[in-house]
A and B are shown apart, each in its own frame.
Chain A
Amino acid sequence: MTSFANNAAATSARANWRRAIEDLWDGSAHWWVWTAMAWQDIVQRYRGSVLGPFWLTISTGFMCLSVGLLYSKVLNQSIASYLPFLCLGMALWGFISTVANEGCVCFLSAEPIIRQIRMPFTTHVNRTVLRNLIVLAHNAVVYVVIAVYFQIPLHPRSLLVLPGLALLTVNGAWMCLLLGMICARFRDFAPIVGTLLQIAFLLTPILWTPAAFAGWNRRWIIDLNPLYALIEIVRGPLLGDPVASLHWAVALATTAAGWSLTLWFFARYRARIPYWL
Chain B
Amino acid sequence: MASITLDNVSIHFPLFHTGGRSLRKTLLSVTTKKNFASDRHGLYVRALDGVSLQVDHGDRVGIVGRNGAGKTTLLRVIAGIYEPVAGRVAVDGAVNALLDVNLGLSLDATGYENIILRGLYLGMHPSEIRALAPGIAAFSELGEFLHFPARTYSTGMFLRLAFSIVTATKPELLLMDEWLMAGDAHFLAKAAERIDGFIGQSKILVLASHSLEIIRKWCNRVIWLEAGRIVMAGEPSAVLDRYSQAT
- Residue numbers of A with Cβ under 8 A of B are 1-10, 30, 32-33, 36-37, 40, 44, 47, 112-119, 185, 187, 271, 274-276
Q: Give min CB distance, A166 to chain B, whole Å.
A: 25
Question: B99 — which chain A residues lie within 8 A by C-beta?
Answer: 115-116
By the criterion CB–CB under 8 Å, are B106 and A44 in contact? yes
By the criterion CB–CB under 8 Å, are A117 and B117 in contact? no
Interface of A is mostly: mixed
Question: A2 — which chain B residues lie within 8 A by C-beta?
Answer: 94, 122-124
- 10 residue pairs A–B, Cβ–Cβ below 8 Å: A1-B122, A1-B128, A3-B95, A3-B122, A3-B171, A6-B95, A7-B91, A8-B88, A10-B87, A33-B123
A4 to B109, CA, bound (A): 24
By the criterion CB–CB under 8 Å, are A271 and B83 in contact? yes
**Contacts beyond the supplied A114-B104, A118-B79: 8 A-B pairs with Cβ under 8 Å:** A2-B94, A36-B117, A37-B117, A44-B106, A116-B81, A116-B99, A116-B104, A117-B97
Q: Mark B94-125, 1 if CB is under 8 A from A, else 0.
A: 11110110111110110001001100111111
Give the A-B contact count at a CB cut-off of 8 A. 110
Q: Give min CB distance, B7 to chain A, whole Å.
A: 8
A9 to B99, CA, bound (A): 22
By the criterion CB–CB under 8 Å, are A118 and B100 in contact? no
Given known pairs A112-B102, A115-B99, the reply for A6 and B117 (CB within 8 Å) is: no
Given known pairs A33-B121, A116-B99, A118-B95, the reply for A10 and B84 (CB within 8 Å) is: yes
By the criterion CB–CB under 8 Å, are A6 and B120 in contact? no
By the criterion CB–CB under 8 Å, are B170 and A40 in contact? no
Question: B108 — which chain A residues lie within 8 A by C-beta?
Answer: 44, 47
A9 to B90, CA, bound (A): 8
Picked from A6, A117, A119, the residue with its CB within 8 Å of the CB of B89 is A6
A36 to B106, CA, bound (A): 13
A6 to B82, CA, bound (A): 10
Considering the complex, give the chain A residue whose CB is closest to the CB of B168: A1
Given known pairs A40-B113, A112-B102, the reply for A6 and B79 (CB within 8 Å) is: yes
Question: A30 — which chain B residues lie within 8 A by C-beta?
Answer: 123
By the criterion CB–CB under 8 Å, are B96 and A1 in contact? yes
User: Does B216 sit within 8 A of A, measured CB to CB?
Assistant: no
Q: Give min CB distance, A185 to chain B, whole Å.
A: 8
Question: A8 — which chain B residues lie within 8 A by C-beta?
Answer: 80, 83-84, 88-89
By the criterion CB–CB under 8 Å, are A36 and B126 in contact? yes
Given known pairs A9-B87, A33-B121, A271-B83, the reply for A115 and B94 (CB within 8 Å) is: no
Q: Give min CB distance, A150 to chain B, whole Å.
A: 40
Question: B169 — which chain A residues lie within 8 A by C-beta?
Answer: 1
Given known pairs A36-B120, A44-B108, the reply for A114 and B81 (CB within 8 Å) is: yes
Q: Give min CB distance, B117 to chain A, whole Å.
A: 7
Q: Give min CB distance, B171 to chain A, whole Å.
A: 6
User: Does B179 sit within 8 A of A, measured CB to CB?
Assistant: no
Considering the complex, give the chain B residue whose CB is closest to the CB of A7: B90
A271 to B117, CA, bound (A): 24
By the criterion CB–CB under 8 Å, are B95 and A10 in contact? no
A10 to B79, CA, bound (A): 16
Considering the complex, give the chain A residue whose CB is closest to the CB of B102: A112
A30 to B129, CA, bound (A): 14
User: Does B85 sit within 8 A of A, measured CB to CB?
Assistant: yes
Question: A44 — which chain B residues lie within 8 A by C-beta?
Answer: 106, 108-109
A118 to B99, CA, bound (A): 12
